[in-house]
Amino acid sequence: MGLTAKDMAAVESAVCKPSGGDTERCTYKVAVTGADDSPRGRWHVAVLITAKNGDTTLNTKAADFTVA
């Protein structure tokens, strides 16, 4: 089974700030321990967006990064 909006509802939020027009820049920081033991390869960042009216949209592959 894939990731769902319900799975994402309990996670920590990113900090978002306006960056011009209809755009916001959001950042999320996490402490990394055991980086040498992390699985290598391509990873995806999942994003759950919640509108002011409560509607949500889930993008399970909003961004990618590679652990080499």
Residue 48: CB atoms within 10 A of its CB come to 19
Strands 24-27, 15-18: pairing kind = antiparallel
Q: Quick one: pLDDT at residue 1? A: 66
Residue 12's domain comprises: 5-67
The DSSP bridge partners found for residue 47 are 59
Residues 6+ apart with CB under 8 A from 57: 48, 49
Residue 8 belongs to what H/E stretch? helix 5-8
Higher pLDDT pick, 34 / 11: 11
Q: Quick one: pLDDT at residue 18? A: 93
**Average pLDDT in the 19-27 region?**
89
Query: How many separate domains does the chain show?
Result: 1
